[in-house]
Amino acid sequence: MDDASAVETLSAYSGILADPDVPGRSGAAIHSGSSGERALQEKYGTISRANAFYNHQVLDHLNSLMQDFISRQEMVFIGTANGQGFCDCSLRAGPAGFVRVLDERHIAYPEYRGNGVMASLSNIAENPSVGMFFVDFFGSTVGLHVNGSARIIDVEEVASPPSRFWSDIITREPTGISPRPERWVIIEVQEAFIHCSKHVPLLQKLDKGIHWGTDNVACKGGDYFQAKKAKRLSEELAGSEGKQATGLEG
């Protein structure tokens, strides 16, 4: 692909992801903060500290050090919300490099077989805004926030425009994972910034056998929290209201 075609492809992809109605920091205003941030900074007297952080630490792309940091990580926490604002935070993991750095403005991560709920993906389908948090628990204890706009790519779409620009990077199989991804999520980076290390614990990594994509209950942790037989509070409330309505409860 020549440079002109590459630029055209990237522009097309950015157009698909961009949504001017999504609130938050974006575009030229990336370093000025959201209206909510500014209101609280004024209320609590942190404007000067916030300005220093915006100006010195927040980028609208991934610089080379950030790209290298991501390529070394084996996990990432991903925050999403649906169209009504109900939130979910989930973990994605894999061998180092499972999150692919496509270029300074785009990264991608694989979706493997899970519990079938599709909590994160369904949120992305309604609201493409995502917050990703990478953290190095085993070395620097530094974290990296990457916020952006996400799009779900089915496996058969990887070789099609506009994602074909990165197809060779996306389809490179990471060492140590046998099942193939069922789909990919590509994120257009809107902002990236450090999470300081002062409160992040330094952990020791131990060996653990990973059963990628398994449906084995024991390997998945079973009913660890014994939720299967637990009553839902909504059921108890409905039962109590029913008794009161029939006069069975004094």
Name every residue whose Cβ is closer than 8 Å to that of residue 145 and which is 6 or more positions away in sequence. Answer: 131, 132, 133, 191, 192, 193, 194, 195
Is the pLDDT assigned to residue 15 strictly greater than 60?
no
Is the pLDDT assigned to residue 149 strictly greater than 90?
yes
Is the pLDDT assigned to residue 248 strictly greater than 80?
no
Rounded CA-CA distance 26/227 in Å is 41
38-94 confidence digits (pLDDT tens): 999 999 999 999 999 999 999 999 999 999 999 999 999 999 999 999 999 999 999
- Residue 94 buriedness (CB in 10 A; 0-12 / 13-18 / 19+): buried
Of residues 137 and 32, which shows the higher confidence score? 137
User: What pLDDT is attached to residue 164?
Assistant: 66
User: What pLDDT is attached to residue 244?
Assistant: 58
List the end-to-end C-alpha distance of the chain, in Å, as a whole number.
77
| Tokens, residue 1 | 């692909």
Nearest CA to 190 out of 121, 129, 122, 136 is that of 129
| Tokens, residue 156 | 């058969």
Is the pLDDT assigned to residue 137 strictly greater than 90?
yes
- How does residue 31 score in pLDDT terms, banded at 50, 70 and 90? low
Rounded CA-CA distance 64/10 in Å is 19
User: What pLDDT is attached to residue 181?
Assistant: 86
Sorted by where each starts, the structural domains of the chain and their CATH numbers stand as 3-195 (2.30.110.10)
Is the pLDDT assigned to residue 23 strictly greater than 60?
no
Of residues 30 and 174, which shows the higher confidence score? 174
